[in-house]
Amino acid sequence: MKTLVHLLQTLEETSATHQKKEAIVLYLSSVNEIERLHTIALFCQRTPKRPVKIALFKQWIAEYLALPLWLIEECHHTVGDLSETISLLVSSETTEITTSLPDILQHLYELPGKPLEEIKSTIIYYWTHLDSYSCFVFNKLLSGNFRVGVSQNLIAQAIAVYTQQDVGKIHSALMGNWSPITHTWSELFHFTDHKVGSQPYPFYLAYPLEDTTLVTNNTDDWSAEYKWDGIRLQMVHRGQQTYLWSRGEELITDRFPEIVAAFQALPDGIVLDGELVVWDEQRTCSFPYLQKRIQRKNVTEKILTSYPAYVMVYDILEYQTKDCRSLPYVERRAILNTLLSSYPQERILLSKAYSFSNMESLNQLQLDAVQAGAEGLMIKRNQSEYQYGRKRGDWWKWKKEPFTVDAVLIYAMQGSGRRAGWYTDYTFAVWNGDQLVPFAKAYSGLSDSEIKELDAWIKKNTLEKFGPVRSVPAHHVFEIAFEGIALSSRHKSGIAVRFPRILRWRKDKPLNEANTLDDLNAMLSNGLS
């Protein structure tokens, strides 16, 4: 455990990426193969299952320290992170445990299913015999939300340096189904030329396009596609089997049987990249419908007909069992075109590529995309290879402007992490007659100094406290941006918005000039969603 804790501390204290990489490489070369794989798994968010509910941790701590539960809650609100709160409350001054990381993890993997008393005494033993930082790390392992602030890309680079392998191969190896329990280090990083079974390729991701002249200066080099408002999906079809992978490297095959069925008609040895969408009654792409669909693990007949799923395919990564990612975009599109027109399937659709000749035609495409229910455009270089990770230069996303409304702050809750102890999670409301109805929560968009100023105001002007939430008088108006708007029975306002965030603090705006619920309803009925 000591070596890992040391690595994490080093990573936290260095800001330069190359130094972080060096630290990881050094770590990899200083531990054995078993610990190495366990750590990589942790870095890739493959943590053991949580053995008990988090709420129990607080009870145990309260009992152990003979403090009331409300005081533990108060501590948690102040710190903003339960793992850290526990480490501050009960850790020992120095670590008295020499157990290795794999042994601790093995211990954790075995905990679920054990009698509760045994789980409790084991966990309390660790808590009280580790130093503060080690205890914090242990809790992160325990609660299954281990985050190190190091991108998977950097991990892959470090492994590539350590194993002296190509970083692209490492990326591929890190995807798919593996865990330190089912695989060994050498199994995972021993490469063959052929992909097998369900294994997907790493996704290629785009950056937002800020300067459109990058693509309008030489329009012949570029193609545009609609940026569908769904979830990214990689479809692996090998050995008569189909596997659907989400961007989070989760296998979601079982949730979309109609897509899997459609693949039965397609030839073997192909891997496609696209967007999974759900169409509403008007046959336009609807994100709220998709959300209703994706939450269901149990897919009934009714769900299948009410929320029909489609994939809009825009790339092909493997064809006739061969990796074709290094072919230029236009050639891959040509293969894809031929494939999908030879085997037409209602549920597997080609996302068209469009050429454009100037800014005007690009704007027109953008409008068309929005009308079709897409978020905006993807703009791709015709000669681009299918790369991995988020890269600048060849693939861009270009989204329409967000909707904005002026809304009034009515509730605030304390944040977590570096916002601990500050009121940073806000609830905003719009007018409905002389009432304010909450319609969105947002926590991003203010600068640190604005947060401080608002936090001080909230603390001075609290009307009521409900646990971590405070209500405040209607006073401050903020401009809120969001991506989409839909009807919702779950919200008091009857409306739900997507990705709400604060654009600016409108100190100039009088309270009565904030927007109304009618304004939101008008956006909804104008089909702006």
Partner 1 sequence: MGALLELTSKGIYCPPADLYLDPWRPVERAVITHAHSDHARWGMKQYIATPITVDLMHKRLGKNIQTQRISYKETFFHNGVQFSLHPAGHVPGSAQIRVEYKGEVWVFTGDFKIEPDAVSDPFESVPCHSMITECTFGLPIYRWPKSSTILHSIAQWHEQNKAQNLTTVLVGYSLGKAQRLLAGLSALGIPLRVHSTIADLNESIPTLRPYTSFIREWTKDTPNEVFKNDILIVPPAAADRTTLEKRLGPVKIGYCSGWMQLRGYKNRTTNIDKGFVLSDHADWNGLLQAIKQSGAQNIYTTHGYSSTFAQWLSENGWKAQPLQTEFISAETDVMVDE
Quote the least distance from Cβ 449 to partner 1, whole Å: 11
Query: Residue 295 carries which DSSP code?
Result: T
Please identify which residue in 25, 88, 340, 503 interacts with partner 1, judged by CB under 8 A: 88
Quote the least distance from Cβ 84 to partner 1, whole Å: 6
Helix, strand and coil percent figures for the chain, each rounded to 5: 40, 25, 35
Could you say whether residue 445 binds partner 1 (CB under 8 A)? Answer: no
Quote the least distance from Cβ 418 to partner 1, whole Å: 4
Quote the least distance from Cβ 75 to partner 1, whole Å: 5
Q: Are 259 and 276 in contact (CB under 8 A)?
A: yes
Residues in region 281-310 near partner 1 by CB under 8 A: none
Quote the least distance from Cβ 448 to partner 1, whole Å: 7
- Nearer to partner 1 among residue 75 and residue 517 (C-beta): 75
Please identify which residue in 1, 5, 37, 84 interacts with partner 1, judged by CB under 8 A: 84
Number of residues that bind partner 1 (CB under 8 A): 30
Please identify which residue in 89, 260, 316, 495 interacts with partner 1, judged by CB under 8 A: 89
Could you say whether residue 448 binds partner 1 (CB under 8 A)? Answer: yes
Choose, from 20, 21, 120, 227, the residue flagged as catalytic. Answer: 227
From residue 40, alpha-carbon distances to 154, 322, 334, 444, 472 in Å are 11, 29, 38, 31, 45
Segment near partner 1 (CB under 8 A); pick from 84-92, 208-216, 310-318, 331-339: 84-92
Quote the least distance from Cβ 68 to partner 1, whole Å: 7
Q: Are 58 and 72 in contact (CB under 8 A)?
A: yes
Quote the least distance from Cβ 71 to partner 1, whole Å: 6
**Long-range residue pairs from 53-59, CB within 8 A, at least 24 positions apart, any chain:** 54/82, 54/143, 56/120, 57/82, 57/86, 57/123, 57/143, 58/82
- Nearer to partner 1 among residue 247 and residue 418 (C-beta): 418
Residues in region 365-424 near partner 1 by CB under 8 A: 416-422
- Nearer to partner 1 among residue 416 and residue 529 (C-beta): 416
Three-state SS letters, 404-416: EEEEEEEEEEEEC
- Nearer to partner 1 among residue 81 and residue 315 (C-beta): 81
State yes or no: is 297 an active-site residue: no
- Nearer to partner 1 among residue 71 and residue 116 (C-beta): 71
- Nearer to partner 1 among residue 370 and residue 413 (C-beta): 413
Tokens of residue 505, six digits: 């603090």
Quote the least distance from Cβ 53 to partner 1, whole Å: 22
Rounded Cα gap, residues 340 and 333, in angstroms: 10
Binding mask 129-158 for partner 1 (x = CB under 8 A): -------x----------------------
- Nearest alpha-carbon partner for 459 in 471, 443, 445, 448: 471
349-387 in b/e burial notation, b at 16+ Cβ within 10 A? ebbebbebeeeeebeebbeebbeebbbbbbbbbbebebb
- Nearer to partner 1 among residue 352 and residue 475 (C-beta): 475
Q: Are 347 and 258 in contact (CB under 8 A)?
A: yes
Quote the least distance from Cβ 142 to partner 1, whole Å: 17
- Nearer to partner 1 among residue 79 and residue 497 (C-beta): 79
Binding mask 451-490 for partner 1 (x = CB under 8 A): -x--xx--xx------------------------------
Binding mask 44-83 for partner 1 (x = CB under 8 A): ---------------------x-xx--x--xx--xxxx--
- Nearer to partner 1 among residue 29 and residue 78 (C-beta): 78
Q: Considering just the CA atoms, what is the radius of gyration of the chain in Å?
A: 26
Q: Are 399 and 365 in contact (CB under 8 A)?
A: no
Q: In 96-253, which ranges are continuous DSSP H helix?
A: 101-110, 116-129, 132-143, 152-163, 167-174, 185-188, 213-216
Rounded Cα gap, residues 230 and 149, in angstroms: 27
Q: Are 316 and 324 in contact (CB under 8 A)?
A: yes
Rounded Cα gap, residues 425 and 442, in angstroms: 6
Segment near partner 1 (CB under 8 A); pick from 102-110, 212-220, 221-229, 448-456: 448-456
6-34 in b/e burial notation, b at 16+ Cβ within 10 A? bbbebbeeeeeeeebbebbbebbeebeeb
3-state secondary structure of 437: strand
Rounded Cα gap, residues 481 and 367, in angstroms: 19
3-state secondary structure of 18: helix
Please identify which residue in 53, 93, 302, 434 interacts with partner 1, judged by CB under 8 A: 93
Residues labelled as active-site residues: 227
Binding site for partner 1 (CB under 8 A): 13, 65, 67-68, 71, 74-75, 78-81, 84-85, 88-89, 93, 136, 416-422, 448, 452, 455-456, 459-460
